[in-house]
Amino acid sequence: VHDTVSAMSGPAGNIDAFAEATAVSSVGDEGARHYEAEIHPGWDIGGNANGGYLMAIAGRAMTEAVGRPPLTLTAHYLRPGPAGPCTIDVEVVRSGRRLATARATMTVEGKPTLELLGTFGEQAPDDGPSYQREEPVDVTPFQDCLPMRPAADAGGPGLMDRLACRLQPGDDGFRKGEPTGDPTVRGWFALAAEEPIDAIGLLLAADAFPPPIFNSNIPMAWVPTVELTVHVRGTPAPGPLRVAFRSRFIHDGLLDEEGEIWDSAGVLVAQSRQLSLMPRPT
Amino acid sequence: VHDTVSAMSGPAGNIDAFAEATAVSSVGDEGARHYEAEIHPGWDIGGNANGGYLMAIAGRAMTEAVGRPPLTLTAHYLRPGPAGPCTIDVEVVRSGRRLATARATMTVEGKPTLELLGTFGEQAPDDGPSYQREEPVDVTPFQDCLPMRPAADAGGPGLMDRLACRLQPGDDGFRKGEPTGDPTVRGWFALAAEEPIDAIGLLLAADAFPPPIFNSNIPMAWVPTVELTVHVRGTPAPGPLRVAFRSRFIHDGLLDEEGEIWDSAGVLVAQSRQLSLMPRPT
């Protein structure tokens, strides 16, 4: 059996660039599924595919395998992911009435590159009890925020050409060589051409912004992610998403980075946290 | 090959109750290892083993398999874990110079019960750059905090007999039927008989306190964990650990719970976050 699983967001074309760039094709049966996909060029930071983008490809394969979108997905990053073909082997560990759990390995150039574990299920709004400790992150209106990649910055990450993200004025200190001293980066996440953002898109959103440590006073050229966990807390209403990422604790060669993603209706739609390595000066 | 792997913390006896209760024995080779262990009675909440305790057993097996302690470990909970024998099958996905990544399945009564994914490595203190957004959690001195299980509460969780935890005065509202309205629970974590707390002990510490949602105004008898991730950020100095757990966002049938664990020297030694189900009223 070899059937092409189309991306979720409808017709092909530039308008569905993300859906196309994360499309997967399946071979296999229900219990242990094998998928093929393509790590597209242009979704990279300096030549290596963005971690959220890789998680989105693998997450789409897992979503297809279990027949429901992710509620919570963890990826461990074993090595960088260059552009080119990849495979995703999904094993469904348990499939229950409300939730299903699956693990997966993404392999690139014959080597395991991402190892993933997730639980999947529809996340429908309900009228049950709720509590919200914090208000949606306070961000300047989209049109008044800074384009993520100024036209002058021709050498910037390829990823930013695929997105329509905006950066909070003031949080751009790191771009000017004047870090704010507060490892926080806020702004708006949007796909190009107003492509809608589903649970798979949230996986990308969770890792699409520059590392907030860039705004600390610790000089840092790159920050390799060891682990990224994304909790999907809702389905985004249309429009760009308000995001805030911050590091809370940096010491002994490791740092955290936590993210909150809010939709245009003020609903928390995703939480993320990652553990990253702080490369030691050589 | 069948060799008994002794627990890490030294001689047998009551003084090492946790090390004994999480001991594992191995059968197998280096690439794919099979472990046997026993889910001990008395580490439960109302008959089902505590989630952090189960993670600690599986985490010890993974630690033995890769030869280094956990840096970041994620468990997905598939079903409750009754006392009795269990097996842990560990697959080492990658073993590098600094880090090793492994996955595991814990099986109880023939059924997959926990599925885990972790990255392992020594976490040694260094003199590199650091940043700390928040001070160590402010908790009343150990001797002035409340015993976790008052003598009168004979029907309390068995787990609390195994620990020497203390609860922050004021955060005990839920025990008196007067929730504080703030889903926060703080206090001290300690093993009984002053057993030292290593990285495996931190896995237990991350899930040993009552769910902070008990202090919200949402009535809730139990809160099944879907996913728990623990980042080990240091090796605890001797003595009880200051802990704080809080829920930040509760809606649509799901809730988060994040934890911070600090040692007696004021070092953040672990961060945790879990996603749990809010059982719907029936």
pLDDT tens digit sequence for B135-182: 999 999 999 999 987 544 555 567 877 899 999 999 999 999 999 999
User: A15-59 pLDDT, tens per residue?
Assistant: 679 999 999 999 876 556 999 999 998 898 878 899 999 999 999
Predicted pLDDT at A193: 78
SS3 of residue B111 by DSSP: strand
Predicted pLDDT at A9: 35
Decide if A268 touches B, using CB distance below 8 A: yes
- Report which secondary-structure segment, H or E, holds B61: helix B51-66
User: A200-218 pLDDT, tens per residue?
Assistant: 999 999 999 999 999 999 9
Query: Which residues of chain A does B128 touch, with a Cβ-Cβ cutoff of 8 Å?
Result: 251-253, 278, 280
At residue A181 the predicted structure's pLDDT band, cuts being 50, 70 and 90, is very high
CB A28 within 8 A of CB A46: no
At residue B275 the predicted structure's pLDDT band, cuts being 50, 70 and 90, is very high
Distance from CA of B195 to the nearest CA of A (A): 25
Cβ-proximal residues to B263 (8 Å cutoff; 6+ apart), any chain: B234, B236, B237, B239, B241, B242, B269
Q: What ipTM score was computed for the predicted complex, to two decimals?
A: 0.92
Decide if B256 touches A, using CB distance below 8 A: yes
At residue B134 the predicted structure's pLDDT band, cuts being 50, 70 and 90, is very high
Q: Which residue of A has its CA nearest to B215?
A: A131
CB B47 within 8 A of CB B200: no
Predicted pLDDT at B192: 86
User: Mean pLDDT across the stretch A250-263?
Assistant: 97
The residue assigned the tokens 């814990």 is B106
User: Is the pLDDT confidence value at B95 over 70?
Assistant: yes
Distance from CA of A30 to the nearest CA of B (A): 18
User: Is the pLDDT confidence value at B7 over 70?
Assistant: no
CA distance A230 to B48: 27
User: A86-99 pLDDT, tens per residue?
Assistant: 999 999 999 999 99
- Report which secondary-structure segment, H or E, holds B26: strand B24-28
Report the alpha-carbon angle A29-A203-A23, nearest 5. 45
Predicted pLDDT at A13: 42
The residue assigned the tokens 């400790």 is A133
CB burial class (10 A; 0-12, 13-18, 19+) of residue B249?
buried
User: Is the pLDDT confidence value at B5 over 50?
Assistant: no
User: Is the pLDDT confidence value at B16 over 90?
Assistant: no
CB contact under 8 A, A131 and B216: yes
User: Mean pLDDT across the stretch A124-141?
Assistant: 93
Q: What percent of chain A shows pLDDT beyond 70?
A: 89
CB contact under 8 A, A101 and B76: yes
Decide if A266 touches B, using CB distance below 8 A: no
Q: Which residue of B has its CA nearest to A213?
A: B131
At residue A194 the predicted structure's pLDDT band, cuts being 50, 70 and 90, is confident
Q: Please state the φ and ψ torsions of residue A205, each to the nearest 5 degrees.
A: -55, -30
The residue assigned the tokens 């009675």 is B41
Distance from CA of B162 to the nearest CA of A (A): 31
> Strand A225-232 vs strand A166-167: parallel, antiparallel, or unpaired?
unpaired
Predicted pLDDT at B1: 33
User: B215-257 pLDDT, tens per residue?
Assistant: 999 988 889 999 999 999 999 999 999 999 999 999 999 999 9
> Strand B100-108 vs strand B84-95: parallel, antiparallel, or unpaired?
antiparallel
CA distance B242 to B246: 14
User: Is the pLDDT confidence value at A279 over 90?
Assistant: no
Predicted pLDDT at A48: 86
Count the alpha carbons within 13 Å of A149 in the hemisphere toward its beta carbon.
Answer: 18
User: Is the pLDDT confidence value at B10 over 70?
Assistant: no
Tokens of B192: 């009984």
Q: Say which of A76, A118, A250 has its CB closest to residue B130.
A: A250
Distance from CA of A93 to the nearest CA of B (A): 8
Q: What percent of chain A shows pLDDT beyond 90?
A: 76
- Report which secondary-structure segment, H or E, holds A113: strand A111-120
CA distance A83 to A48: 7
> Strand A166-167 vs strand A184-189: parallel, antiparallel, or unpaired?
antiparallel
Q: Which residue of B has its CA nearest to A220?
A: B129
Tokens of B36: 């046997």
CA distance A241 to A263: 5
The average confidence (pLDDT) of chain A is 89
User: B33-92 pLDDT, tens per residue?
Assistant: 999 999 998 898 878 899 999 999 999 999 999 999 999 999 999 999 999 999 999 999
Predicted pLDDT at A11: 36
User: A147-167 pLDDT, tens per residue?
Assistant: 987 544 555 567 877 899 999
Adjacent-strand bridge partners of A86: A37, A108
C-alpha closest to that of A191 among A69, A21, A7, A27: A21
Predicted pLDDT at B158: 77
